[in-house]
Chain A
Amino acid sequence: MSTLEIRDLQVSVKLPEGELKPILAGVDLTVKAGETHAIMGPNGSGKSTLAYSIAGHPKYEITGGSVTLDGVDVHELSVDERARAGLFLAMQYPVEVPGVSVANFLRTAKTAIDGEAPKLRTWAGELRGAMEKLQMDPAFAQRNVNEGFSGGEKKRHEIMQLELLKPKIAILDETDSGLDIDALRIVSEGVNRVRATGETGFLLITHYTRILRYIKPDFVHVFVGGKIVEEGGPELAERLEVEGYEKFLTRA
Chain B
Amino acid sequence: MVRLITHNLLACHAKGCTTNNFPLQIKDAQLALREAEFNPDFLRGFIPRIEWAALVSAARQLGDESLPNEVPEMIDDDFLRGLHHVLLEIHIDEGAMVCPNCGHVYPISSGIPNMLLAEHEIG
Say whether A and B bind each other.
no
Residues of A within 8 A of B (CB): none
Residues of B within 8 A of A (CB): none
